[in-house]
């Protein structure tokens, strides 16, 4: 795997430090609110596991899985493959996302959860890649780990064709590794 990485963008130590900082901020903001933390599968798993342990106030966990892919090709149509199991009406909800890229999936997730009438709905994304945002997507993340350039990043849960998720850092994939 390492041979496919052009460069390390965010080190393991930088990730640990930023997760701790985000955890402190979320702990302050959600103190006494008993939020439901919703992770969007699959890429969020590593970030979610680290983040949830840094939130030092009572909270509940839930997950949803959406997809627009058939194999490695996007169909452009979002489908909820697994919805949350919690009733979030009147509850404070925080979406944890691995990367806010084009915005299609996060916008879909946000609107889907908003339709369930939460008391509040906020977004925490580990990576934000604003250069890739589709026109018309105006949703803003409330909490951002890192803003990254428009490069193909993998690691820390992010994948290419289901590989590289287990890298402990964020790396830029060599173009030849993904056929560019």
Is 3.40.50.300 the CATH classification of the domain at 12-149? Answer: no
- The catalytically annotated residue of 101, 107, 128, 142 is 101
Q: What is the mean pLDDT of the chain?
A: 94
71 pLDDT above the threshold of 80: no
Q: Please list, in sequence order, all residues whose beta carbon lies within 8 angstroms of the beta carbon of residue 166, skipping any fewer than 6 positions away.
A: 155
The first and second tokens of residue 20, run together, are 């701790």
In this prediction, residues 132-157 reach a mean pLDDT of 96
Q: How far is CA 26 from the centre of its chain?
A: 15
Q: What values do phi and psi take at 95, rounded to 5?
A: -90, 125
- C-alpha 107/C-alpha 137 separation (Å) is 7
Task: Give the pLDDT of residue 143.
Answer: 98
- The pLDDT score that the predictor gives to residue 125 is 98
Tell me: the pLDDT tens digits for 140-150? Answer: 999 999 999 99
Taking residue 110's Cβ as centre, other Cβ atoms within 10 Å add up to: 17
User: What values do phi and psi take at 168, rounded to 5?
Assistant: -85, 5
To the query of whether residue 101 is one of the catalytic residues in this protein, the response is: yes
What is the value of pTM for the model shown?
A: 0.93
| Residue 86 near residue 36 (C-beta atoms within 8 A) | yes
Tokens of 53: 């342990």
- Does the pLDDT of residue 137 top 90, yes or no? yes
Mean pLDDT across the stretch 79-86? 95
Residue boundaries of the structural domains of the chain: 12-149
What sign has the CA pseudo-torsion 136, 140, 145, 146?
Answer: positive
- In sequence order, what are the residues at sequence separation of 6 or more whose Cβ sits closer than 8 angstroms to the Cβ of residue 82? 41, 63, 64, 65
pLDDT, position 69 = 62
């Amino acid at each position: 795997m390492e041979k496919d990485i052009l460069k390390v963008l965010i080190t393991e130590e930088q990730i640990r430090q930023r997760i701790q900082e985000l955890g402190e901020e979320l702990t302050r903001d959600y103190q006494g609110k008993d939020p439901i933390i919703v992770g969007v599968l699959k890429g969020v798993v590593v970030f979610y596991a680290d983040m949830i342990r840094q939130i030092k106030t009572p909270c509940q966990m839930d997950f949803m899985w959406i997809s627009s892919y058939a194999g490695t090709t996007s169909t452009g149509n979002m489908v909820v493959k697994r919805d949350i199991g919690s009733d979030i009406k009147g509850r404070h909800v925080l979406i944890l996302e691995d990367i806010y890229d084009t915005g299609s999936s996060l916008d879909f997730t946000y609107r889907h959860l908003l339709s369930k009438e939460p008391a509040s709905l906020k977004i925490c994304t580990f990576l934000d890649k604003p250069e890739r945002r589709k026109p018309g997507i105006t949703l803003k993340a409330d909490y951002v780990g890192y803003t990254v350039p428009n490069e193909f990043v993998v690691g820390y849960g992010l994948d290419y064709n289901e590989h590289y998720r287990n890298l402990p850092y964020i790396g830029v994939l060599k173009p030849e590794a993904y056929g560019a």
